């Protein structure tokens, strides 16, 4: 199992989820007062007394039996109060969980306590549904992989959930790549301790996920690329980024692209990393604002030593190219655009004439 914190009490609490008597953060604080107290030293004290506490959002002692299974579990946020999430403390190890995502949803994908929520088509006889309902609000609030440590947001910045937010539910998704350890009935409580405050925060956090579809040819180096124009009248202040690939990824880089007074696009790096290092959120390379009319562009450099084509998909036999950009806005709401995906190679490249991109820099893939 992953690191446990009072498993019997955790299980008793999560029985509430099983019967859909899920409580918001206030009720959980009361039920979980002992655990909030135990975790006080883990909460970023820059928020001082404004931090209500942290509560555990964990898998309800599941025992996955299907390799590369994506499991989701929901919790309803108290609809009478607005909360601001200011930090995430993971309760997981890469020996158990390949990666975890925390979604903010208008409603969950199903009314069940757990369900198969693989986002891409899989050959499975299990009933499947997306993390969020098909027509509901959906955004990614947090992502974790490869033993990444705790993430604290900058002072005064938080993800708004609950009463005055379209996020009415939180949904935890855990990808179990390998399930041998569960064959004897062993259970898992991977998840995250969510740190939050009720103090209103003006700097609202958002996450933009950029990624691709596509495929990688055998025995070749391929560039998986995507880009989107920011066309909303908002000023984004980027502060953190995270990259994610599977085994073929060598380097992932993200850029702000802005036209200067001469109409020439200037590419400013937001972040660049080897995706096989801990897949945590890192400080951006450059925190200059991103404004309407700018593009955000991402490249994943893949190197295949396989004698077959590798498609983008959910399992270890597939690949992924993802770049998560965390930002905040000083006033108003965050971007309506939550996702930016392209078809990927061999169909989509930055150099295609219809992308609106030019002056593309030569990007060294120093880890190849």
Q: What is the largest CA-CA distance in the chain?
A: 66
Among 12-16, 22-26, 202-206, where is mean pLDDT lowest?
12-16
Residue 175 bears catalytic tag: yes
Residue 98 bears catalytic tag: yes
pLDDT given for residue 127 in this prediction: 64
Of the residues 98, 223, 237, 295, only one is catalytic, namely 98
Of residues 321 and 12, the one with the higher pLDDT is 321
Segment 327-355, tens digit of pLDDT: 999 999 999 999 999 999 999 999 999 99
pLDDT given for residue 306 in this prediction: 97
d(CA 270, CA 293): 17
Is 37 labelled as part of a ligand binding site? no
Is 99 labelled as part of a ligand binding site? yes
Residue 173 bears catalytic tag: yes
Of the residues 244, 265, 295, 302, only one is catalytic, namely 244
Q: Mean pLDDT, the chain, as a whole number?
A: 85
Among 46-50, 165-169, 293-297, 331-335, where is mean pLDDT lowest?
46-50
pLDDT given for residue 52 in this prediction: 61
Position 18 pLDDT exceeds 50: no
Of the residues 223, 246, 280, 295, only one is catalytic, namely 246
- Average pLDDT rounded to a whole number, residues 359-364: 81
Is 362 labelled as part of a ligand binding site? no
Is 331 labelled as part of a ligand binding site? no
Is 244 labelled as part of a ligand binding site? yes
Q: Which of 174, 212, 201 is nearest to 70 (CA)?
A: 174
Q: Which domains does the chain have, with CATH numbers?
A: 49-201 (2.60.120.310), 206-342 (2.60.120.230)
Q: How confident is the model at residue 51 (pLDDT cuts 50, 70, 90)?
A: low
Residue 246 bears catalytic tag: yes
Position 98 pLDDT exceeds 90: no
Is 175 labelled as part of a ligand binding site? yes
- Average pLDDT rounded to a whole number, residues 121-132: 66
Segment 226-282, tens digit of pLDDT: 999 999 999 999 999 999 999 999 999 999 999 999 999 999 999 999 998 887 899
Residue 240, classified by CB atoms within 10 Å of its CB into exposed (0-12), middle (13-18) or buried (19+), is buried
pLDDT given for residue 365 in this prediction: 55
Q: How far is CA 90 from CA 99, 189, 280, 368, in A?
A: 11, 11, 11, 31
Residue 331 bears catalytic tag: no
Given a contact cutoff of 8 angstroms between Cβ atoms, the answer to whether 280 and 149 are in contact is yes
Residue 1 bears catalytic tag: no
Within the chain, where are the H helices? 7-18, 25-31, 33-38
């Amino acid at each position: 199992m992953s690191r446990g914190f009072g498993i019997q009490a955790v299980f008793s609490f999560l029985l509430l989820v099983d019967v859909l008597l899920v409580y918001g953060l206030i009720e959980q604080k009361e039920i979980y007062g002992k655990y909030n107290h135990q975790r006080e030293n883990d909460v970023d004290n820059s928020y001082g007394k404004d931090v209500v506490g942290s509560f555990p959002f964990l898998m309800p002692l599941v025992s996955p039996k299907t390799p590369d299974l994506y499991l989701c579990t929901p919790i309803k946020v108290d609809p009478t109060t607005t909360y601001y999430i200011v930090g995430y403390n993971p309760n997981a190890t890469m020996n158990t969980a390949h990666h975890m995502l925390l979604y903010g949803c208008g409603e969950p994908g199903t009314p069940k306590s757990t369900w198969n929520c693989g986002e891409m088509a899989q050959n499975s006889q299990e009933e499947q549904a997306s993390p969020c309902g098909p027509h509901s609000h959906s955004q990614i609030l947090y992502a974790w992989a490869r033993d990444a440590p705790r993430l604290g947001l900058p002072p005064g910045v938080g993800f708004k959930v609950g009463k005055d937010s379209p996020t009415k539910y939180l949904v935890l998704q855990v990808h179990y790549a390998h399930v041998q350890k569960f064959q004897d009935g062993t259970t898992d409580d991977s998840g995250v301790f969510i740190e939050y405050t009720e103090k209103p925060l003006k700097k609202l956090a958002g996450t933009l996920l950029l990624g691709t579809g596509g495929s990688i040819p055998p025995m070749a180096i391929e560039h998986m690329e995507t880009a989107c124009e920011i066309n909303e009248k908002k000023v984004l202040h980027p502060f953190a980024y995270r990259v994610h690939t599977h085994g073929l990824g060598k380097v992932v880089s993200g850029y702000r692209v802005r036209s200067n007074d001469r109409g020439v696009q200037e590419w400013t790096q937001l972040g660049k990393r080897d995706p096989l290092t801990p897949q945590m959120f890192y400080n951006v390379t450059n925190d200059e604002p991103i404004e309407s009319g700018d593009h955000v562009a991402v490249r994943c450099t893949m190197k295949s030593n396989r004698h077959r084509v590798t498609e983008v998909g959910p399992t270890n036999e597939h690949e992924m190219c993802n770049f998560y950009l965390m930002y905040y806005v000083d006033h108003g709401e965050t971007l309506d655009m939550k996702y930016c995906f392209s078809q990927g190679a061999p169909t989509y490249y930055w150099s295609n004439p219809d992308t609106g991109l030019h002056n593309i820099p030569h990007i060294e893939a120093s880890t190849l």
